[in-house]
Amino acid sequence: MTHETALALCLALPAAGAALIALCHRWPNLREAVSLGTAAAVFTVVVSLATEVLAGQRPRLELGEVLPPLAIALELEPLGLLFALIASGLWFVSAVYSIGYMRGNGEAHQTRFYVCFALAIGAAIGVALAGNLLTLYLFYEALTLVTWPLVTHHGDDEARRGGRTYLALLLASSMLFLLPAMAITWWVAGTLDFASGGILAGRISGAAAAGLLALYAFGIGKAALMPIHRWLPAAMVAPTPVSALLHAVAVVKAGVFSIVKVVVYVFGLEFGAGAFAWLPWVAGFTILAASVVALRSDNLKRRLAYSTVSQLSYVVLAAALLAPLSIAGAVLHVAAHAFGKITLFFAAGAVYTAAHKTEVSELDGIGRRMPWTFAAFGIGALSMIGLPPAAGFVSKWFMVAGALQAQHWVALGVIVASTLLNAGYFLPIVYRAFFIESQGEAHGEAPLSMVLALLATAALTLLMFFFADLPLALAARVS
C-alpha cells in the first residue's frame, strides 16, 4: 500500500463505516460489529504510516486545489501521527465501552450515535493529517458540526441549551478569530503551509505578532482557554461516551493539537519570545481558576469537565514557553491526558450505569462494590495529578524541565500549585470510594464491555509511564 493510499483510507474508512452503520440500523449486533471493525481498520492504517514518519519522512497527498497555490492537502508529521494514533486507537476502546453504556442505559437513537461518532473520528483524523491551515480549518469545523448531534443526543431542553452553547462558542470563535488569523498569515507569509521552523519568523513582530497569536489562541476554541471555555462544561449533558469523545479522543485534542501545531509550524520555536509573553499568564490563570472550580464541584462529570479545562491549558502553557523540553512536554501531555481522562470518564459512566449516582458526595464506599472501576479511576487520577507510575508524570516532568530551561518561574509556580489542586479534587474521591462506609444498596460492576474498556485505558496510562519510547520519539521530532 502506498502512503497516498493509506492517507486517503484514513479519511475514507470512517466515512464508509458511518454509511454502513446507518444501513445496519435494524441489526444492532451487526451495526456495532461494523463500528468496531472500522475502528480497527483505521488504527491499522495509521500504524502502517508510523515507520515512514519515524524515519523522517512526511507522507503527503493533495486532495485538490482551491486557489493556486492553496490546496487541500494531507501531510503526516510526528505530532499528527501521535494524534491520529490516539484518535483511532481510542475509537476502538470507546466503541467497546459504548456498547455496554448505550444498551445498559436503554439510550435512544443509538444508530445516530454510532454514525456521528465515526464521522467525528474521521474529522479528528483529518485535523491530524492537515498539511496546511486551510485543511486544518475545514476538518476543525467539520468536527464541530458532526459532534453537535452527539451533544444534543437526549433531545431535552437541557441538551438543546448545552448544544446551543457548544455550537455558538465554537463556531463564533473560529469564524471571528481563527479565520481572520489565517487570512493575516496568508497576507504576511504568502502561504498557509505548515513548515519546520515556522513561516512567520522575520515577517511579523512586536504588537502585531502578539495580536496574531491572540487570534489563534482564542480562535482555536476547542483548546478551552478562558473565557472561551464554557462550551465544554455545557456539553456535559451528553451521554458519557460522548463526554469521553469530547474530552479525550477527538474534540479537545483537536484544540490543543492545533495550538501546538500553530506554535511550532506557523510561528516557529525561534520566533521572538516577546510576542508570546502574555500567553503563559492566560494559560496559567485558566489552569488555576478551572482547578478551583473543579475543587468546589460536587457533580462528578462537572468536576471532570473543569479538570479538562485546566489540563488542556498545561499544553498551551508548555507550548508558549518555546523551549524544546516544554514542547516535548506539551506533545506528551496530549497523549497522557487522553489516556488518563478517558479512564476517568469511563469510570463516571460505569458508576452512573451500575449505581445511578452522579455526585461525588454519593460515592461513599462505592469502590468496595465496584473495585475494578475505582482501581482504574485511581490510576487516571494519579495521571492527572502527575504522580508515578502514570503517564501524567512523564509529561509533567518535561513541562517542569521546560519551565526551568526557559527560566519561566511563573509557569513553574503554576504547575506546582495546580498539582496540589489536582490532588485536592481527585484524591478525596478515591478516599470516599474505598475508606468511608456506605449504607447504600448493594450493586456490582457495570456491564463487562464497559469494565474491559476502562481497564484497557487504565493499562495504557500505566504503559505510557513504563514504555514511553514511541511518544518520546515523536515528541523529539516535533520541531
Q: How far apart are CA 234 and CA 419, in angstroms?
A: 25
Left (φ > 0), alpha (ψ -120 to 50) or beta: where does 325 sit? alpha
Q: For the chain, state the CA radius of gyration.
A: 21
* Packing angle of the helix pair 391-406, 409-435 (nearest 10 deg): 160
DSSP state for residue 75 in the 8-state scheme: E
Q: Let me know: does 354 contact 424? Beta carbons within 8 Å.
A: no
How many alpha carbons lie under 13 Å from residue 183 in its C-beta half-sphere? 8
Residue 330: burial class (beta carbons within 10 Å; 0-12, 13-18, 19+): buried
Among candidates 395, 397, 383, which has minimal Cα distance to 462?
Answer: 383
Report pLDDT for 439.
64
Give 10-residue mean pLDDT values along the chain (479 residues). 90 94 91 93 94 89 81 92 93 90 82 91 94 94 92 83 90 95 93 90 87 95 90 82 76 92 91 86 95 93 91 94 92 93 92 88 90 95 94 94 92 94 94 83 82 94 91 84
Q: Which residues pair with 359 in a beta bridge?
A: 299
User: What is the number of other CB atoms lying within 10 angstroms of the CB of residue 206?
Assistant: 10
Report pLDDT for 442.
62
DSSP state for residue 76 in the 8-state scheme: -
- Side chain identity, residue 72: I
Q: Which residues pair with 291 in a beta bridge?
A: none
User: What Å distances lie between residue 468 and 146, 171, 391, CA to CA?
Assistant: 33, 36, 8
pLDDT one-digit tens code per residue, 400-435: 999 999 899 999 999 999 999 999 999 999 999 998
Report pLDDT for 326.
92
Give CA angle at 292 (290, 294), nearest 5°.
70
Positive or negative: CA dihedral 328, 326, 196, 254 = positive
Report pLDDT for 110.
86
Q: How far apart are CA 278 and CA 28, in angstroms?
A: 51
Q: What is the DSSP string of 135-159?
A: HHHHHHHHHHHHHHHHHTTT-SHHH
Q: How far apart are CA 358 and CA 268, in angstroms?
A: 44
Q: Indicate the pairing of strand 70-75 with strand 60-67.
A: antiparallel
